[in-house]
Structures are given as structure tokens and as C-alpha cells.
Amino acid sequence: MTTKALNGQWLGDIALEASGNMDSLFEIANDNGVGITDDLTIADFLISDFSADVQPDKQVLKFYLQNNILPATGFTQADIASQLGGIGYMGIQIDFKIS
């Protein structure tokens, strides 16, 4: 299966979308050469052919399909900085300006 990462998705969201549970998280990361906490871009393509160890949760997959749910619960370092604020959390060219 091939899927395109959506805005705001992290690898766990892709795992849920693909298998209905988190069992596939490490396989997807390994197969695509990414870390489980890496920020994804909209252009990323993730392929997931699961081993016998991953048992898809058909009930969750059916619910997602029926309700047109595409989980997107990820956040980036810029998101963290904007919520926490302060000099220790500012990012150059994000919210820290030098004049």
C-alpha cells in the first residue's frame, strides 16, 4: 500500500490509517528509512507491506473508512515553540528576529 502523508500527520497517524493500530509503526519507519518522531512533509510516500506480526484492526479501519477519518495529530518543533514561547523556545526565522 502506498499513501501520501497529509499536513499535520506523524508516523503514528500513518500507522493507524494503514493498519488500525500502532503495531505497524516500527515496520513503516524501518521500511521508509525514517524515525518514528521525524517531521513528515506532504510529499512523503510511505509504503507498508506488513509482516505476519502485524494484525490489522479491521473494526478501526472500517470506522475510519465509513467516517472518512484521516488522523492528523502530529506537530512540529515550530508548533511547540509557538505554544511555549520565551527565548529558550524561539526558533531563528520562526519567531526570533535579529535586527
pLDDT digits (tens, 9 = 90+) for 47-90: 767 888 889 999 999 999 999 999 988 876 666 666 666 666 66
3-state secondary structure of 45: strand
Q: How far is CA 94 from the centre of its chain?
A: 22
Rounded CA separation 31/28 (Å): 5
Q: Are 14 and 71 in contact (CB under 8 A)?
A: no
Which residues partner with 10 through β-bridges?
none
Mean pLDDT of all residues in 20-26 = 92
Residue 63 pLDDT: 96
Average pLDDT, the chain: 82
| pTM of the predicted model as reported, rounded to 2 decimal places | 0.71
Mean pLDDT of all residues in 18-39 = 90
The CA-atom distances, in angstroms, between 16 and each of 12, 47, 54, 90, 94 are 6, 14, 12, 32, 31
Residue 65 pLDDT: 93
Phi, psi of 92 (to 5 degrees): -60, 135
